[in-house]
Amino acid sequence: MQKMKHTEAFSLFEQGRFMDALKPSVNAINNKQSLIYETPYEKCKLVLATWMNFTGRKREAYTEVINLMKLGLDSDEIRNTLLLIMGERRDAKDTSFIFGLGTGRSGSTSLTSALSSIPNSYFSHEHPSIIPWTNGEAIVDWHLLRPRALSNHYSVVGDVSHWWLPWVEHIYKSHPNALFIIMRRSLQDTVASFLKIKGGGGRGSINHWVEHDGQYFRKNIWDRCYPKYATASSLAEALKKYWHNYYLEASRLHKLLPDNTIIIDLEDENKDELIKRFIIKNTQVPIDQISFEAENVGSIQDGVNYFPIPEFCKNKI
C-alpha cells in the first residue's frame, strides 16, 4: 500500500498534474504511511508557489514557501524559490543590516518587537532555514541574500537569533557595516528559563548541548544549531557552560569590532535608550523610540514564527 501511494503521487507529478499529486501525498503523510520526503509534496508546493508568483499572487506564493520551512523542510530549491518571490537583489550598500544575538531566553522576542518599531524596517526572529553552529557557511550566505532582497523596500532589515554568534566575523567580512546587538540575561535566570521549557533535564527532556542517541534526551531539529559540551553531566551544567562560553565569545567580538557590536544587559533599565543611540550613531536612521514592551511568557513557543510577510509581498504585482 505504501509503495502504491509513492508511485501514484510521483506518477501524477511527472505527468504535470501537480494538484492531483498533492492529494495522495497528503493522505500518505497524514496516515503515517509515508514520510514527507518520500512523496512529491515539497516539489508540488514549490511548483504551485512559482506559478502563484508569476500570476501575481505573491502573498500566497510567499506563504506556501514559508509553510514548507515551518515544517522543517530545507533545500536549495526551497530557499531559491523564496528569493525568486522576493525579487531581484541590489548591492544593498545603503541599507543597514542589524542582527540580534543572545543565548536564547534572553529577551530576543522583545528585541525583535522593539526593532520592528523602527520606521520602514523589516525584522524577523529565527527565520528559517535553521543555521547550524558549525559548517553552516552556505546557509549563512543564503540568509545574507534575504536582507539584500528586502533592502529594495526597507531602510533597515535584520534577524534576531542565538545562532548568529559563530558567524559574526563571516558576516562582517562581506558586510562591514552590519551591526550586532547582543542581549545578555543573568546566568541564573537564563538557566532556569531554559530548564523550564526543555523539560527540566530528566528523561525525555530536550538537551541541545550534548551529543546523544535519543534514548534519554529527545532528539530535536534544533540540536544542530547549538554548541556541544561533552563533559557536561547534566542539562543544567551544559546550560551554564553554554552561557559562559557564549558571552566570553561575545566579549571577544565586542573588543574585535567595537563599532559594530554592543552588549546589552536585559536587566538594564536604560537598554531601550542604549540600543536607540547605537543604531542612530551607526545608521543615521531617525528613531523616536525603541521599547521592550513585548513580554516573554516563558513558553517554548516564544518568538516562534516571527517572520511576517514583507509588505511588498502583500499586494499583487
pTM to 2 decimals? 0.92
Ranking 36-40, 135-139, 205-209 by mean pLDDT, the lowest is 36-40
Query: Is 289 a residue whose pLDDT tops 90?
Result: no
Q: How many residues does the chain have?
A: 317
> For residue range 46-88, what is the model confidence (pLDDT) as tens digits?
999 999 999 999 999 999 999 999 998 999 999 999 999 998 7
Output the pLDDT for position 286.
Answer: 87
Cβ(154)–Cβ(313) under 8 Å?
A: no
Output the pLDDT for position 303.
Answer: 43
pLDDT band, very low/low/confident/very high, at 285 (cuts 50, 70, 90):
confident
Cell matching residue 267: 536587566
Output 122 or 289, whichever has higher pLDDT: 122
Output the pLDDT for position 305.
Answer: 60
Closest CA to 247 of 236, 263, 261: 263
pLDDT band, very low/low/confident/very high, at 314 (cuts 50, 70, 90):
confident
